Amino acid sequence: MSTKSTTAERGRATTEPGTVALVCLAAWLVPGAGHLWLKRRQKGLIFLIALPLMFAVGLWLNGRLFPLELSDPLVFLGAIANRGVGAPYIVARMMDMGAGLVTAASYEYGNTFLMTAGLLNFLVILDAYDIAAGRK
Amino acid sequence: MTSHFLLMVLFAFFVSLVFAVLLRDEPREQLRTGAMMFGAFLVAAIVAGWLMYPFPL
């Protein structure tokens, strides 16, 4: 199956600034959507599966979705990281998940999975931006 | 699941996968980079674990 996901197979194309912003928004909302939009199917599909799955594992491990509390800088940064994953975060919030169980042995692992999924998606958004802007 | 080692392996797998796909374009290169990164994660964790062994907290 040819996915035509490599730069060698496709030329660089600059997208309109408004479209670049939309690509970034889509990439935040649905991990991998930016790459799928830009026809990088192989990369997009891997992000689409791996990042929400990593987030789900974090919830399963009793991790906590942190609130945006400016009074506690580390919690605030954790909250920003949590929100990086987009729709899975919104869905988890709507389903009242991510309360966190501090006494669980896997609590810190859960937090790590949840935050890392969001932070990795920030990198994915930046990559989608670079592709849309014609830098890659 | 409470095995810290297995959770670390799972974490290493996800992070290696995403970084390899981000950093490389060719599937063969992605596989190579991902495998190297995954191996480095495991070796570093085991070495760090042994280094911390004499210092119980």
Of B11, B14, B22, the CB nearest to A123: B22
Which ipTM value was assigned to this complex? 0.87
**Residue A66 covered by a domain:** yes
State the pLDDT at residue B23.
94
**Which of A95, A94, A92, A86 lies closest to A124, judged by CA?**
A86
- pLDDT per residue over B9-55, tens digit each? 999 999 999 999 999 999 999 999 999 999 999 999 999 988 888 87
State the pLDDT at residue A18.
83
State the pLDDT at residue A2.
47
Q: What is the pLDDT along chain A (136 residues), one digit of tens a residue?
A: 444 555 545 555 567 778 899 999 999 999 999 999 999 999 999 999 999 999 999 999 999 999 998 899 999 999 999 999 999 999 999 999 989 889 998 999 999 999 999 999 999 999 999 999 888 7
Q: Is A61 helix (H, G, I), strand (E, B) or coil?
A: coil
Q: What angle do CA A107, A109, A112 make, to 5 degrees?
A: 115
Domain of residue A61, residue span:
17-132
Parse chain B into domains and list their residue ranges: 4-51
Q: Is A99 helix (H, G, I), strand (E, B) or coil?
A: strand
Question: How many structural domains does chain A have?
Answer: 1
Of A47, A109, A113, the CB nearest to B18: A47
In this complex, how many residue pairs, one in chain A and one in chain B, have their CB atoms less than 8 Å apart? 47
State the pLDDT at residue A130.
94
Burial class (CB in 10 A: 0-12, 13-18, 19+), A23: buried
